[in-house]
Amino acid sequence: MRWTPFLIFAYLFTLAQTTLGHILMLDRLTIGPVGPDFIVLLAVFIAMYVRTAVDGMLAGWVLGTLIDLTTGGGAGTETRVGPMAVFFTLAVWLAFQVREAIYRERALPQMLLAGLFCLLTHTLWVGTQMLLAPQHVFWGGFSRLLMQVLLSAIYTGLLMPLVHFFLVPCRNWLLSAPPSRSHRARR
Amino acid sequence: MASTGKNHTVWILIVLTSISVATTLLGPSVAEKLRSMVHWAFAPLGDAGMYLTTGVKRLTQPQPHVEPNRAEQLLEDNEVLHRRVQYLESQLRQTHRTIRGGRGVFSRLFHPSEAVPVRLVPARVVAGDSMPYGWTRIINAGDRRDAVRGAYVTQRRAQTDRAEPLGVNHPVLCTEGLAGRILESGPFTARVQLVVDSGFEVRSQIRRVIDPQNPRLIQAGDQLVRLSDDNNEPIDVVAFGDGAAGLIVPEVRKVHNIHPGDVLQVRPDVGALPAPALIGTVVNVSDDAEHVGMVRLYVRPAVDLPSLRDVYIVVPTADKLVKEGGQ
Note the pLDDT of residue A94: 95
- Can you list the residues of chain A whose pLDDT is less than 70? 75-76, 135-140, 177-187
Instruction: Say how many domains are in chain A.
Output: 1
Does residue A186 fall inside a structural domain?
no
**Cβ proximity of B6 and A52 under 8 Å:** yes
Measured between CA atoms, the residue of chain A closest to residue B36 is A69
3-state secondary structure of A101: helix
Does residue A153 fall inside a structural domain?
yes
3-state secondary structure of A96: helix
Which structural domain range is residue A28 located in? 3-176
Which residue of A13, A24, A34, A80 is the best one to mutate when testing the B interface, meaning the one whose CB has the most B CBs within 10 A? A80
Count Cβ atoms within 10 A of the Cβ of residue A94 and give its class: 0-12 exposed, 13-18 middle, 19 or more buried.
middle
Note the pLDDT of residue B116: 66
Q: What is the CATH number of the domain that holds A52?
A: 1.10.1760
pTM: 0.77
B184 in A contact zone (CB under 8 Å): yes
Does residue A19 fall inside a structural domain?
yes
Work out the minimum CA distance from A109 to partner chain B, whole angstroms: 24
User: Inter-chain contact A77–B199, Cβ cutoff 8 Å?
Assistant: yes
Surface of B (2-21) touching A: CB under 8 A: 6, 9-10, 12-13, 16-17, 19-21
> Which residues does chain B have within 8 Å of residue A64's beta carbon, measured at their own beta carbons?
20
User: Inter-chain contact A73–B136, Cβ cutoff 8 Å?
Assistant: yes
Class level of CATH domain B201-302: mainly beta
3-state secondary structure of A26: strand
Other Cβ atoms closer than 10 A to B26:
15
DSSP per-residue string spanning A119-180: HHHHHHHHHHHHHHS-TTS-GGGHHHHHHHHHHHHHHHHHHHHHHHHHHGGGHHHHHPPPPP
Note the pLDDT of residue A50: 92
Average pLDDT per block of 10 residues along chain B, 327 residues long:
71 93 88 85 84 85 76 89 91 87 66 62 88 88 83 74 50 66 86 88 89 80 81 89 88 88 86 81 89 89 87 75 41
Of A55, A61, A152, nearest to B17 by CB-CB distance is A61
**Cβ proximity of B281 and B299 under 8 Å:** yes
- Residue ranges per domain, chain B? 28-62+115-195+309-325, 64-112, 201-302
Nearby residues of B95 by Cβ (< 8 Å), 6 or more positions away: none
Does residue A182 fall inside a structural domain?
no
Question: Are the folds of B28-62+115-195+309-325 and B201-302 the same?
Answer: yes
CATH architecture of the domain with residue range B28-62+115-195+309-325:
Beta Barrel (2.40)
Q: Amino acid letter at B119?
A: R
Work out the minimum CA distance from B277 to partner chain A, whole angstroms: 23
**Cβ proximity of A39 and A66 under 8 Å:** yes
Which residue of A15, A68, A77, A78 is the best one to mutate when testing the B interface, meaning the one whose CB has the most B CBs within 10 A? A78
Which residue of B56, B130, B185, B309 is the best one to mutate when testing the A interface, meaning the one whose CB has the most A CBs within 10 A? B130
Q: Which DSSP helix (H) or strand (E) runs through A92?
A: helix A83-98
> Which residues does chain A have within 8 Å of residue B183's beta carbon, measured at their own beta carbons?
72-73, 78
The rounded Cα A89 to chain-centroid distance in angstroms is 10
Name beta bridge partners: B278: B265
> Which residues does chain A have within 8 Å of residue B198's beta carbon, measured at their own beta carbons?
73, 75-76, 137-138, 141
Three-state SS letters, chain B: CHHHHHHHHHHHHHHHHHHHHHHHHHCHHHHHHHHHHHHHHHHHHHHHHHHHHHHHHHHCCCCCCCCHHHHHHHHHHHHHHHHHHHHHHHHHHHHHHHHHHHHHHHHHHHCCCCCCCEEEEEEEEEEECCCCCCCEEEECCCHHHCCCCCCEEEEEEECCCCCCCCCCCCCCEEEEEEEEEEEEECCCCEEEEECCCCCCEEEEEEECCCCCCCCCEEEECCEEEECCCCCCCCEEEEEEECCCCCEEEEEEEHHHCCCCCCEEEECCCCCCCCCCCEEEEEEEEEECCCCCCEEEEEEEECCCHHHCCEEEEEEECHHHHHHHHCC
**Cβ proximity of A71 and A82 under 8 Å:** no
User: Inter-chain contact A54–B56, Cβ cutoff 8 Å?
Assistant: no
Count Cβ atoms within 10 A of the Cβ of residue A79 and give its class: 0-12 exposed, 13-18 middle, 19 or more buried.
buried
Residue B128 dihedral angles phi and psi, to the nearest 5°: -120, -170
Measured between CA atoms, the residue of chain A closest to residue B136 is A73
**Cβ proximity of B28 and A132 under 8 Å:** no
Please give the C-alpha separations between residue B212 and each of B51, B66, B80, in angstroms, as whole numbers: 43, 25, 18
Work out the minimum CA distance from A79 to partner chain B, whole angstroms: 6
Other Cβ atoms closer than 10 A to A167:
18
Closest residue by Cα to residue B272 from B202, B198, B213? B202
The Cα–Cα gap between A5 and A14 comes to 14
The Cα–Cα gap between A43 and A95 comes to 9
Work out the minimum CA distance from B300 to partner chain A, whole angstroms: 12
Other Cβ atoms closer than 10 A to B60:
12
B107 in A contact zone (CB under 8 Å): no
Which ipTM score applies to this complex? 0.85
Does residue A172 fall inside a structural domain?
yes
Of A20, A80, A136, nearest to B23 by CB-CB distance is A80
> Which residues does chain B have within 8 Å of residue A122's beta carbon, measured at their own beta carbons?
131, 133
Does residue A184 fall inside a structural domain?
no
